[in-house]
A and B are shown apart, each in its own frame.
With several copies, the nearest count.
Chain A
Amino acid sequence: MSSTLLEMSGIEKSFGTNKVLKGVNFELMPGEVHALMGENGAGKSTLMKILTGIHKRNAGKVAYMGEQKEYTDPKESQLDGIAIVHQELNMMKDLTVAENIYIGREEVNKGFINDHVAIEKTEQLFERLKVNISPTEKVDHLTVGQQQMVEIAKAISMDAKLIVFDEPTAALTEKEINELFKIIEDLRKKGIGIIYISHRMNEIKKITDRITVLRDGEYIGTVLTEEVTKDEIINMMVGRSLSEDPKQRSNVSPNAEEVLKVVGLKVGNTVIDVSFNLKKGEIVGFSGLMGAGRTEVARAIFGADKRDHGDIYINGKQVNIRNTHDAVKHGIGYLSEDRRRYGLVTGFSIADNVVMSALSNYSSNGIIQDHKVHQESEKYRRKMKVKSTSSTQIVRSLSGGNQQKVVIAKWLVRDSDIIIFDEPTRGIDVGAKSEIYDLMNELVNQGKSIIMISSELTEILRMSDRVVVMCEGRITGELPIENATQEKIMELATDRKEM
């Protein structure tokens, strides 16, 4: 026991009247990779925030290296050798990469900061991590994935004894994930304790030693990874088992009508000459590495960004989409990859978010009919099993997966015919994930059409009728689901052209 690095026991935490941790235990040994698992809203991030002194616990004990601790400030835990990669990005966008990594730890000489030291150290760090980012680049100009790598590099640079990774791979490509795993292996060998939070079962099986599972803030148990199967873990998390099998063949008939056609789309140099189509009742999966330009394609079609060239046809007719309003009028809906920032007005209730795009339908003589809004949103709240007390609950207080369901409900209420799902299950637990998959299938059965952008190959293979692969702004290939394999997709995704 004396060698235990961290021992948390009986941790309790409430936000207002909402009890989110109910006596949670957690233990970590030096050199161990310990997974923390649980559905969305189970309390994983909250537990880590208590450990690092961001939140104050209501009850329970934390022993770190044999000493009782109660951090009140992230600085204190940092000084004690605890580093964390947060679930959300925490970057100072106007500062450079090096400045971000060494913030709070600047080399100061007679009161003046010596940035050369930080830049050099960053270069070495990136070399070790096999990351190709300039230390003097402004963070604002990095992609989400690159920013995530910088966050990871920052945590590693601290020479910590304990590192928490809260869903580090959500924005990373397979290649980067593999690099990360090598690094974690490295750290483990040095005797550093690692807490690893992820919803991706493969990763958990691959790199962790033990798994602790939470459900609804309760401590369910801790098991040795090699002694349990995926299904057993899922069972602990949700109390039932789910499958993750790929789709065998497309359900869309070859002569189904074409609902969307994009020809020669160009946006700056992030989207180059992109053409594709989408049929009624079809799910087209967009696959590719980070920065391939898939989000940009979606945003351009949706009118969120200006396009330089490109024609868009809906149901065979050319349409002029100048802004998001036009797109919605033409029956397009869009779930962004960052729901908190781009999907929801988090200060509004579930009901008000759900009717946001269809407000006219709930107004008479210009006055919004609150009872209609309430009825409709209650209907969807129940149907989609949004974990909440009523449709008047503020969206901010929902967990990630439930927020995502609210965004989907918004486009259902609007009755959009074409819905673009950008990373629909990013950071969402298996339970909610499968519910969202069921929903997507139900939608296409009703004759709606879906474009799904995803970085998870298993997801692409499981959901798509057809796979479009992008690399560096171009479409490098299109695969019917019958021919699609992980290997083929990866080959197309790395099919770089000379510029």
Chain B
Amino acid sequence: MENEVKKKYKSTFKLGSQQLVALGALIVLYLYFFTMSPSFRSINTLASIFDSAYYIGFLAIGVTFVIATGGIDLSLGTVLITSALTGGWLYHNYSLPMWMTIIITILVGTMFGLLNGVLVAKLKIAPFIATLGTQMVARGLGSIITNVQTVVFPLRNSPDGWYKSIFKTSNNFPTGIFVLIFFAIVMGIILAKTKVGRYILALGSNEEATRLSGVNVDRYKLISYVISGFFMGLAGVAYASTYTTILPGEGLGFELDAIAGVIIGGTSLVGGVASITGTMIGVMIMAVLQTGLPYIGLQPHYQVLITGIVILVAVLADVYKFKWRK
């Protein structure tokens, strides 16, 4: 039991008990929809599931690092939208090449991550408050930059439409899942096998002790928010690629979906323990639920209700798992 907890953050891709439970739940859920609805069985449905997993998945990977420090990031959703709005707006107004638009979108997200990092690590504002402030600032700025107008990214058949193939080929093959898995693996390794990851987990576990060990905790805290920012930008690209049009004012609430995925995946909000694999499983559970429930005739409000219950059950299962064992 003790060694298991240890493995959770040590071994890069081995699954702790909570991840196994989550994985089991994911498989059961998928099979349930598969059995209940014939139209769920198509490859297109799988592609739909992935579509809704990309942007939440990126947000969730990034915020896992912040949560590992014991922090939280409420700005995920609005920064995603503001990054995409800024990128798309520059694309239209300065006829940027598409590759540069993508880089700028990621950069804008990263800059907001840096802002969060400075507010939390340097100016010592509590993460909840700092990122709540950034959430509002980003939402306001996005609207101001675009003058509250929708930004449309290039369509697939337009000259600059190639970027859409990053996440899905024109014959509907979900290439994006490889992009997502690639980043999950890279970040999983960074979390488990590098100094950045180690120090982030250490300071999430006991910040003062980590500081007294001579680690520059402020720097690593800041890095965690910058990582989160980078992934907000990347999520912005995924979002633009999947949905083409970006509405100013959208995005609020995405952060809760992403954080829910992280929680279901077994990362503790207390900090010090984190699993990218778990996060990916959590995100897939949310995506399967979101895509699958309409197939068995459940309306959106039931989806919200069920997602809420899933979060509570997942966490209760974690809290009580040791008791069950006995």
Query: In the complex, A381 Cα to B120 Cα: how many Å?
Result: 37
Residues of B within 8 Å of A394, CB to CB, are 2-3, 5-6
Contacts of B199 in A (CB 8 A): 103, 359
Does the CB pair A113–B198 fall under 8 Å? Answer: yes
Q: Is B37 an interface residue (CB 8 A)?
A: no
Q: By the criterion CB–CB under 8 Å, are A93 and B205 in contact?
A: yes
CB-CB under 8 A from A115, the residues of chain B are 10
Neighbouring B residues of A343 by C-beta, 8 Å: 209, 212
* Cross-chain contact A363 with B213 (CB below 8 angstroms): no
B2 touches A304 (CB 8 A): no
Take A113-B195, A347-B273, A366-B195 as given contacts and tell me if A90 and B212 are in contact as well, using a CB distance cutoff of 8 Å. yes
The SS class assigned to the B binding surface is: helix
A75 at the interface (CB under 8 A from B): yes
- Min Cβ gap B215→A in Å is 5
A183-191, A309-317, A328-336, A462-470: which lies at the B interface? A328-336
CB-based A-B contact count at 8 angstroms = 166
In chain A between 408 and 453, which residues have their CB closer than 8 angstroms to a CB of chain B? Answer: 410, 414
Say yes or no: is B321 at the interface (Cβ < 8 Å to chain A). Answer: no
> A138: which of B2, B204, B208, B215 is its contact (CB, 8 Å)?
B2
Task: Tell me the smallest distance from the CB of B272 to a CB of chain A, in Å.
Answer: 4
Q: Does B169 contact A (CB under 8 A)?
A: no
B214 contacts the other chain (Cβ, under 8 Å)? yes
Across the interface, which residues of A come within 8 angstroms of B193, CB to CB? 112-113, 367-368
With both chains docked as a complex, state the minimum distance between the C-beta of A53 and any C-beta of chain B, in angstroms: 10
Of B1, B3, B204, B216, which is within 8 A of A325 by CB?
B216
A277: CB under 8 A from chain B? no
Interface size grouping (class) on chain A: 35 or more
In the assembled complex, which residues on chain A have CB atoms less than 8 Å from the CB atom of B204?
94
B206 / chain A contacts, CB cutoff of 8 Å: 90-93, 341, 344-347
Residues of A near B2 (CB, < 8 A) are 16, 137-138, 141, 393-394, 396-397
Known A356-B202, A363-B195: A327·B214 in contact at CB below 8 Å: yes
Q: Which residue of A lies closest to B2 (CB)?
A: A394
Asked if A86 and B214 make an inter-chain contact with CB atoms under 8 angstroms apart, the answer reads no
Q: B122 near A: Cβ within 8 Å? A: no
Nearest chain A CB to B130's CB is how many angstroms away?
Answer: 21
In the complex, which residues of chain B have a beta carbon less than 8 angstroms from the beta carbon of A138? 2, 5-6
Q: Which residue of B lies closest to A154 (CB)?
A: B213
> How far is B198's CA from A363's CA once the two chains are assembled, in angstroms?
11
- Which single member of A79, A89, A104 contacts B213 (CB below 8 Å)? A104
Contacts of B1 in A (CB 8 A): 16
Besides the contacts A75-B214, A95-B272, what 4 more A-B pairs have beta carbons closer than 8 Å? Answer: A345-B202, A345-B272, A368-B193, A394-B3
* A to B CB contacts below 8 Å, 11 in the list: A74-B211, A86-B212, A95-B198, A328-B214, A342-B212, A344-B206, A349-B6, A357-B213, A363-B195, A367-B189, A393-B2
